[in-house]
Structure 1
Amino acid sequence: MIIVASDAHLQHNPPHEFLDGALIPIYETPERVAIIRAALERAAIGPIVEPRVFGIEPVRMVHDDTYLTYLETIYNRWIVAGGAPEAVIPGTLAVRWMSQPHDHPLAAPGYYTFDTCAPIVAGTYAAARAAADIALTGAELLLTGHRFAYALCRPPGHHAGRDLCGGYCFLNNAAIAAEYLVRSAPGFTCAILDIDFHHGNGTQQIFYERSDVLFVSIHASPSYQYPFFLGYADERGAGAGEGYNFNLPLDMGVADREYLTALDQALQAIADFSPRVLIISAGFDTFAGDPVAAHGGGFALSAAVYPQIGRRIAALHLPVLVIQEGGYAIEALGDNVVALLQGLEE
């Protein structure tokens, strides 16, 4: 197992987020990476390497240019316009029929953001670009013959759409890696299995009309959990992508046995698709007592289930890139990541 990691994520350290009507300290902190990395080193999972710098082109294959310019420039423009220096958080959201793009620095965040849980600070764009490079380096490792790689990405990515950030996510690391892989050779196919507690609405949006990337997600039902407006079982893809999107929304309180049953369904769909490689959007907010998942009702997975998840994924006998997404029960986060990776390699 090759681990790809960088300290560039430290540049993204917002002081707060606005959640459920309250301004609170943000859950998605640099401490998460420090805890995961320490657990990986204790367990001697594998060598830790720095990412290669890939430049903007692989990112542009997934995200709109105007959105990328927004991410790169908004913090400084926001400050000049009188916005609070602590973080860029939108005050007005362009919803439904309010769809006119707006370039004013105090208005643009409401056009390019779908919630108030993706605060931007001076180093956010650099950290997000570094996370994308981490994912791309992991994808390149698979192309050069490695069976497993783990991309310790922060910020996470699976909520980021083509031109929208939200849910702590700015650039969609899994989608960028998948796009890089399918462009590596004619006919190359990739599957993404999202096991984060929350639906990967950004990844679904990016590939919804594509047949070369299968998206399969096991997540809390949007009938009671974020992101609420996407992630239902009847969303099966559109156009050329019809049948290549597979959602498995689950009820609150799901424990190990029910989760593994859903995982088996997801893995069968992936086996039927027969991709060249598999990307795992690996969130660990499925763990019992995760504080973010607890907002609205969480799952009840035990630590013992994560090696089982890894073993069942490994049984597909595919090259696997694991990309870090959520997980906020920090006292258990590192051990849960190690357990999944050790299960993969057994």
Structure 2
Amino acid sequence: MLIVHSDATRDRRTLTELFAGQLVAPFECPERVDYIIERARTESIGEIRGPDEHGLEPVLAIHDADYIDFLRVAWRDWQAAGYEGEAIPNIWPTRRMPGGPIPRHIEGRLGYYALAGETSLNADTFEAALLSKDIALTAVDQVLDSGAPAFALCRPPGHHAARDQYGGYCFINNVAVSAQRALDRGHQRVAILDIDFHHGNGTQDIFYERSDVLTLSLHGDPMDEFPYFLGFANETGRGEGEGYNVNYPLPSGTDYARWAQALDDAIARVRDFAPDMLIIALGVDTFENDPISSFTLQSDDYLDIGARLKRIGLPTLFVMEGGYAVEEIGVNAINVLKGFDNA
């Protein structure tokens, strides 16, 4: 299986994350991809190649242009305001606040465009986000051109990025940009199956009123888990998109047997939809020892996940999402690919 990756994904290393009332070293760090690449080479899973540049046009097909411009200038404006630390939002438009103009000051714009306060911006953020979407687009082109599966080893991840908001370590929604690429190149229907521990709230936001993309997400119950507020079972789409968004909120402590039941139901829905292509938002933070999740999947379970996905029988793109800096992230991510290849 082709793996698309760039060592330059390591360039974005933020120093601060707001977690449990403290500023800590971010869980989303360069070591995540180091573990995965090391395991891919140990297992000889396939060729590793760098991405091609794709410009902003595919991004603007999904994301609001003013939001992307904000990402481009945020660090410059933060520094121009005289701030020395990393850019972290601290004020948001809240319930009952009337909608007004987007603030001029960078502090206000950060809050306007942020969906959460844990994700810091630094000098490398925008370029890292652009590189990550190039990785995804290069991989999706490989699938479209050859029919063979590919793995986009993206960093930063993307599934929390909405049309005009960032958060959850995500800035550009890589799976959404990839799905739109497939549609623009002639596919009629694409399915996105998100198996990250955290709900793919940004992906849901982007496609919630569309019927050409089926979005499905298996995740921790948003009553108790980030990103909260979205991801409930009664969120099924709106207008033309009614019936094309499917959520599987699962309780803390979910083991593989219960999780796999939800996966099987999602697979059945994918088959009923009969898409031209399947995109997997591959999070392995469902692992029992992941530092910011509460499911109990074990490393061997990821082999079975890959095998189940292969049996769907569709051209498939894997896009890396969550799974944090424990060494098993490499084992678990590559086990999904091995299970897929060997099924």
**Aligned residue in 2 for 1:327:** 323
CA distance in 2, matches of 1:258, 1:342: 22
Q: Does residue 336 in structure 1 map to residue 332 in structure 2?
A: yes
Which residue identity does 1:211 align to in structure 2?
A: S
- Counterpart position of 2:237: 237
- Distance in 2 of aligned mates of 1:24 and 1:275: 42
Q: 1: CA distance between counterparts of 2:147 and 2:54? A: 19
Alignment of 1:17-96 (within 5 A): 17-83=17-83, 85-96=84-95
Shift of residue 193, structure 1, vs aligned partner: 0.3
User: In the alignment, is the contact (CA less than 8 A) between 1:8 and 1:126 conserved in 2?
Assistant: no
Shift of 1:301: 0.5
Q: CA deviation at 1:103?
A: 2.4
Aligned partners of 1:19 and 1:116 also within 8 Å: no
Aligned equivalents of 1:329, 1:305: Cα separation in 2:
19
CA distance in 1, matches of 2:280, 2:223: 24
Shift, 1:96, TM fit: 3.0
Q: Report the CA distance between 1:329 and its aligned residue.
A: 4.8
Decide whether the 8 Å contact of 2:193 with 2:279 is kept in 1: yes
Residues 1:312 and 2:308 are matched in the alignment: yes
Q: Cα distance, 1:195 vs. partner?
A: 0.2
> Matched residue pairs, number?
340
Any gaps of 5 or more consecutive residues in structure 1? none
Distance 1:97 1:129, change over 3 A: farther
Q: Residue 287 of structure 1 contacts residue 329 of structure 1 at CA under 8 Å; is this kept in 2?
A: no
Task: Give the Cα–Cα distance (whole angstroms) in 2 for the partners of residues 96 and 13 of structure 1.
Answer: 33
What is the match of residue 119 of structure 1? 120
Residue of structure 2 in register with 1:149 after alignment:
150
Q: Is the 8 A contact 1:11 1:126 kept in 2?
A: no
Find the counterpart in structure 2 of residue 184 from structure 1. Answer: 185
Question: Which stretch has the larger CA shift, 205-214 or 89-98?
Answer: 89-98
- Which residue of structure 2 lines up, in the alignment, with residue 105 of structure 1? 106
The SS at the match of 1:225 is coil
String of CA shifts for 1:224-252, please: whole Å, max 9, x gaps: 11111000000000000000000011011
Matches of 1:11 and 1:70, distance apart in 2: 20
How many percent identity over aligned positions? 44
Give the corresponding residue for 2:197: 197
User: What's the C-alpha RMSD, in Å, of the aligned pairs?
Assistant: 1.0
The CA deviation at 1:283 is: 0.5
Taking the TM superposition and a 5 Å limit, the aligned residue runs for 1:214-293 are 214-293=214-293
Quick one: distance in 1 between partners of 2:36 and 2:199? 22
| In 1: Cα distance, 2:306 partner to 2:10 partner | 29
TM-score (norm 2): 0.97
